[in-house]
Amino acid sequence: MNFDERLITILLEAKRSKSLDYDHENQYIGIKWSDKSNDTVNRHIKPHHKIPHSRHHTTLHPPGEKLHKNHPLRDHIGKEVTGHVTHTAKDDNIQAARVRLPKGIDKAHSRDHPHITISRGEKIPAKQSNDMLQNTQGDRLDKHIPITGTVQVFNLDK
């Protein structure tokens, strides 16, 4: 290995290490969807409940779970990705839209139902979307909505 190859290897390893420097108890990894994508989703899917969520993100790796050193998500932190909103679902408490994740992340995330919460009732936590999506596929959109965003580390709201 020549000098340039060693330097590149060292820099890549440093980038990987830095990208996983987060507090797994108080932070989580997700995709923050762009303002343009949020506006597009909000134009196509109208909130059904009293409290709308107009700025969306999708959790990929929840708080409380360590991300092992070789986890594939580590290479995506800080990168822009494209996904697609494919279905909508709602019940008396919450409304969500399923998100088809891009290749590379689709198998790396640790969530059963990648989604964005569209709206919720008063005193209903947004995480209840997960429970609802356990029980329904939702209604397939005639045309999937492309969305772009950045994989990043989020602070847990307390």
The continuous run of DSSP H or E covering 131 comes out as helix 128-135
* Amino acid 112: pLDDT: 77
Q: In whole angstroms, what is the distance from residue 48 CA to residue 129 CA?
A: 13
Q: What is the CATH number of the domain that holds 41?
A: 3.90.1740.10
Could you tell me the residue range of the domain that residue 32 belongs to? 3-155
More confident residue, 136 or 65: 136
Handedness of CA 65, 105, 29, 71 (dihedral sign): positive
pTM metric for this prediction: 0.79
CA nearest to 114, candidates 38, 46, 59: 59
State pLDDT tens for residues 28-40.
Answer: 888 999 999 999 9
Q: In whole angstroms, what is the distance from residue 153 CA to residue 158 CA?
A: 16
| Whether pLDDT at 64 is above 50 | yes
Q: What's at 124, amino acid-wise?
A: I
| Whether pLDDT at 102 is above 80 | yes
User: Binning pLDDT at 50, 70 and 90, where does residue 19 land?
Assistant: very low
State mean pLDDT over 101-117.
82
User: Binning pLDDT at 50, 70 and 90, where does residue 120 land?
Assistant: very high
More confident residue, 111 or 114: 114
State mean pLDDT over 119-124.
94
Query: How many domains does the structure of the chain reveal?
Result: 1
